[in-house]
Structures are given as structure tokens and as C-alpha cells.
Structure 1
Amino acid sequence: MNTPPPTTDEAVPITCADGQRLHGHFIARSGGPDGGLPVLISPATGVRQHFYLRFARWLATQGHDVLVFDYRGIGLSLHGRLKDCRATLADWGQQDQVAALDWLLAHTGAAQAVIVGHSAGGQMIGLLPNHHRVARLVGISASTGWFKAMRPGFRLKANFGMRLVLPLGTRLTGYGTTALLGLGENLPAGVALQWSRWCARGGYATNAVRHRPEQDFHAQVRTPVTVLHAEDDDIANAATVADLLRTLPAAPRQAHCLRPRDHGLRQLGHLDWFRQSHQSVWPLMAQAVRGETLAVAGAPSGAAARAHP
């Protein structure tokens, strides 16, 4: 892939409805055809926005204005001590993604945008009251992370780490000690504990709005959803992806499982999609952003076949 021309990253503040201030970076389109929709990159749990900047800059060269941001309690959006942060995982969807989407649409004047959601970033559209302003959702490694749908060996590891070590570490330190488990940045306690419960129960964000129908938009979402996951991903596998897609019954939805070797890669896993070393998959991600038919080797994953209404 050719080196893209230089782009300018503009640091921007984003204010949520509850007054919480987030920090993001806006990258204006610097090439490609006219008419590309703006793109909101919503990070994975415990991953800072800077991890996505190279991909965001490349996407800007493909004709898209791009916004990437940190959720409350993460990276540049952490104000004060982590142990004092009262953020929850539900806040990341109901407040932070909502505000980031509104900011991007207001700044660009577009009626709709595309969300590229990495892992948790692609799992919470059912919490967004402005979901109708999302033209497409492209979920990268997006699933419910449901422990029971993981292979036995990894399931034991996930249960031990997320249901025993993480709650104990949170009680001792006042924050989620996810870095100790190799799960990205340490998290606000409320985020870490809610994350653990949602993965244990399945259905992910539906757990946030159970018995709260006025806040539950899962059945109303009609945004086309495309999930890309990797053959070597222990978290987002065919079963956990299917568990996510079933929560959006009215949305056109499909999932594709990629084999790393088909893209000249030894591994792809859960996180590597956005690394510059793995840019061979970026054109496929851009196709999904544009809503094009994907040229993926093999058939769509089983999740797609089971999820279509």
C-alpha cells in the first residue's frame, strides 16, 4: 500500500449531555472521491484513540472525514485519578458515543455518518437514541464476548480473569486492573465490573437496558450492520458474533470471518486490524465503510446466515 499524503489531526473537545468532557481528534478528508460519509471510530474497551490514528489518517485519504475519541475515564478523557472516576460501560454508549456522533455530524454538516466500532465500539448501537443517524455500522472484532460461547480453554481463562481476578483487583485498588490481565488500559471500576457481568450473561449491551424500555433501542435499529472478525480471534468468534447480531433483529446484518493467511498475515486476532503492519486488511474495511459488496475469501461466517431475519 502506498504511503498516504500528510494529514492534519485536530484535537477537539466533545461535551456530553451530562456535562462530561471528552477529547478526540478530527482528521479532515485529504483525498479520494467526493461524497464519502464521515466516519466515527469508536474504540475497543481499554484502547486509547492514538492506537487508531494511522488508520484514521489513511481513511481520510480515501475520502472520509474521521473522528476518533477516548471514552470517559480513558486516555485524554480521564480527568483526575482513575479511582475517582464514576464512569460505567453503559455511559460509553448512552453518553459518549451519542455525543461523539452528534459532534461529527454537526462539524461536517452531514445527515448521517458511518461508525467503525472496534470490539465494544461496535456493540452498543442499541443504546444510542440517535442510532437513526448512523448510515452503516462496521464492527471490527465486534461480538458480545459471551464466555459460554468461547472455546473451553479460553472460556476458563476468561472466567478466571474477568470474574475473579478483575473484581478482586478492583476492590483492592478502586479501579479495574485490566492492564494486569493484558486487557488494555486500566479501567474505571464501574466500567470493569459492568464489562465482566455483560460478558458472563451474553447479549452484551442489552443488559444495560433490561427493564428500561425507554432506553432500549435494539429492536428499533435498522442500520445495516457488517461485522468483520478473524479466524484466530478467541473473543469474537462465530458464536459470539451471532449473539451480538441477534440483539438487532430489525437491522440488515452480515458477518464475515477472515483468514489471516488470505491477506498475507500470520495472525490478525482481536486487536491487530488497525496496526500499520496489518494494513493489508484496510481496503476491505474501507469497502465495508462505503457499503460495497465485500470480496472476502470463502463464505460469510455462520453468524451471518443465522442472523438474517
Structure 2
Amino acid sequence: MSRADTPADLAEPVALTCADGVTLRGHFLARSGGNTGEGGGLPVLIAPATGVRQHFYLRFAAWLATRGHDVLVFDYRGVGQSLHGPLKDCQATLAEWGQQDQVAALDWLLARTGQPQVLMLGHSAGAQMLGLLPNHHRVARLVGISASTGWFGGMRPAFRVAARMVLCGLVPLGIRLKGYGTCSAVGLGENLPAQVALQWGQWCSAGGYATNAVQQGAANDFHAAVRTPITVLHASDDNIATDKTVADLLRTLPAAPHSVRRVHPAELGYKAIGHIDWFRGSHKALWPLMAQALRAPG
């Protein structure tokens, strides 16, 4: 990458069509270096966190491409470039982000690269929905960054009270007033479609996250069938992905072998990492940890 180039300049804009006809927008970065040993050569699907646009990940995606991976990142329906029309008119649900959007993104990347499987790097919600994907077996490894269920009961008490008040109080109030989740006003990233925002609060209240989407539809529930190896990386100062909420996620995928690494900011010379900072240019020392987890054997 030259100094004049930006990650967006190097990325190819692409359109992904879901089974229900919804079009998503993403960016594809062809691998530009690195080796193909120990997991190199397999493409990487970056699945964003709730309320985070794809462009947040492009710098990391460009870096990953120089390490030998084709990379796809995309916006979920109702977010960023995948929002079509006024947000208040968007009928997207959180369940559809897994059952439709991640499925389509995975199929597109498999078709584009001709590979039998991909590596999936999910940030927060991006790693919570594998049990909703009928094509989950095409994921060779899932690396979850700040990945957990966000279960209120597993959070530290003070943060639990604040999170519940925001997701179950202020956000529903914003929906009644505006017709959509006014998440940006309360520090929760991008504004969201109403049903996405409501389900977010409901699933965090119940625990088990995406299992709440399939309680009435066993035919669409693949949680027990997933055998994809999972690695979770989370920071010790993350108020959302705590030891308890990470464990709550992993219990939903009982047959999947897993490992967890809790990273202390001081280990890498940082004062803080939290839930989001893993992908910031200021925290590049974390990027080799994520690449190493993607290339882990087995």
C-alpha cells in the first residue's frame, strides 16, 4: 500500500444478494502478499459488530490481505451502505443478520475465491450467530473478537444497570419517538432499524443471544450441529465481553471445540482496549494476535 492509497481505494465494492432478495453492499480485498501456509490462503469473512459500519474494518482488512488472505467485509441490512431508503421504514431484524446476511456473505466469498471453506472473523455480534447459518460447516474456523452474548446477567453490576437502562429503556423510547433505534445518541454506534434494536435488548436480557431467534423453529437451529473450532479474544477491560458472557456464548455451541484468551491492555502497552479498539489503527499491536488466531491449527 502506497502512502497515497487508502484501504477504500484498494477494496473492490461488491453487491451480495440474500436469499430473500435483499441486496447488501460490501468490499472485497484480494490478497496482496504473505504466505499460504498454516491457514494462509483461506479467505477471511469479517462480520461486523452491531452498529458498526464496514469501513471501520477496512484498514485491518487491507493489512490482512498483505498476510495472504482474500478478505470480504460488508454492512448488514439496515446499516451503512446496505440501508435502502429511510431507516424508519426498514423492517430488518437481528435474526436476519445471521439467517440471511451472514449466509449470503459466506456463499459469495466461497464462490468468488473457489475455496471449500473460509475463515470467519466476527466482531462482537459478528461471532454470535454461527448457529443460525445452514452453511456453518463451510467455516473452517471462527475467531470471535470481543465475542459474547452480551447477557446482562454476566456483566459487572454497575455496567449491567446502565446497559439495561439504555437497551431496554432509552432505545425503545427512541423507537417510539423516531421510528428507529436512536443508538448513536446513547453511544451505541450507528442508528439501527427498530426491530434490530429491540431484539438486541431482548436477547441481552434473556442470555443465549442468537438461540432466542430459533426457540420456535428447530428446523433453523444449527447450534448443536456446529463443530467449527472457535477462538475468542476479549480484553480484560471490556464491560460487555466478560468471562461470564463469553462462557454464555460458548455454551450455545456445545459441540464446537473452543479456546479463550483474555488480553490485558498493559501486555501490549495500551491503557485500554475495551470492546471496540481492536481494529483501530492506534491498536495495530493487536492485529498479529488476530491473524495468529485465524491461522491456528485444527
**Structure 1-normalised TM-score?**
0.92
SS of the residue 2:92 aligns to: coil
Tell me the residue number matched to 1:15: 17
Offset from partner CA, 1:62-81 (integer Å, 9 cap, x none): 00000000000000000000
Tell whether 2:39 aligns with 1:31.
no
Alpha-carbon separation, structure 1, partners of 2:31 and 2:195: 36
SS of the residue 2:140 aligns to: strand
Offset from partner CA, 1:129-160 (integer Å, 9 cap, x none): 00000000000001000001111100110111
SS of the residue 2:85 aligns to: coil
Question: Which of these residues, 177, 180, 201, is aligned with residue 175 of structure 1?
Answer: 180
Question: Which of these residues, 90, 99, 113, is aligned with residue 94 of structure 1?
Answer: 99
Question: Which of these residues, 73, 77, 83, is aligned with residue 88 of structure 2?
Answer: 83
Tell me the residue number matched to 2:132: 127
What runs of 5+ residues in structure 1 fail to find an aligned partner? Answer: 294-309
Tell me the residue number matched to 2:242: 237
Tell me the residue number matched to 1:300: none
Alpha-carbon separation, structure 2, partners of 1:102 and 1:10: 17
SS of the residue 1:145 aligns to: coil
Shift of 1:239: 0.3
CA RMSD of aligned residues (A): 1.4
Q: Counterpart of 1:165 in structure 2: which amino acid?
A: L
SS of the residue 2:110 aligns to: helix
Tell me if structure 2 keeps the 8 A contact 1:88–1:191: yes
Alpha-carbon separation, structure 1, partners of 2:221 and 2:293: 26
Alpha-carbon separation, structure 1, partners of 2:291 and 2:242: 22
Tell me the residue number matched to 2:197: 192
Q: Which moved more, 1:101-110 or 1:29-38?
A: 29-38
Tell me the residue number matched to 2:116: 111
Tell whether 2:294 aligns with 1:289.
yes
Q: Counterpart of 1:11 in structure 2: which amino acid?
A: P
Tell me if structure 2 keeps the 8 A contact 1:10–1:27: yes
Question: Percent identical across equivalent pairs?
Answer: 68
Tell whether 2:279 aligns with 1:274.
yes
Tell me the residue number matched to 1:159: 164
Off by >4 Å, runs of 4+ in structure 1: none
Q: Counterpart of 2:181 in structure 1: which amino acid?
A: G
SS of the residue 2:76 aligns to: coil
Q: Counterpart of 1:216 in structure 2: which amino acid?
A: D
Alpha-carbon separation, structure 1, partners of 2:260 and 2:223: 18
Tell me the residue number matched to 2:264: 259
Offset from partner CA, 1:107-127 (integer Å, 9 cap, x none): 000000011000000000000
Tell me if structure 2 keeps the 8 A contact 1:260–1:266: yes
Tell me if structure 2 keeps the 8 A contact 1:36–1:290: no
Give the count of matched residue pairs: 291
Shift of 1:292: 4.9
Tell whether 2:217 aligns with 1:212.
yes
What runs of 5+ residues in structure 2 fail to find an aligned partner? Answer: none
Alpha-carbon separation, structure 2, partners of 1:32 and 1:49: 23
Q: Which moved more, 1:31-40 or 1:248-257?
A: 31-40
Q: Counterpart of 1:29 in structure 2: which amino acid?
A: R
Shift of 1:254: 1.3
Question: Which of these residues, 73, 91, 112, is aligned with residue 68 of structure 1?
Answer: 73
Shift of 1:211: 2.4
Tell me if structure 2 keeps the 8 A contact 1:94–1:127: yes
Alpha-carbon separation, structure 2, partners of 1:272 and 1:85: 29
Tell me if structure 2 keeps the 8 A contact 1:127–1:205: yes
Alpha-carbon separation, structure 1, partners of 2:216 and 2:108: 30
Question: Which of these residues, 21, 27, 41, is aligned with residue 46 of structure 2?
Answer: 41
**Structure 2-normalised TM-score?**
0.95
Tell me if structure 2 keeps the 8 A contact 1:116–1:122: yes
SS of the residue 1:175 aligns to: coil
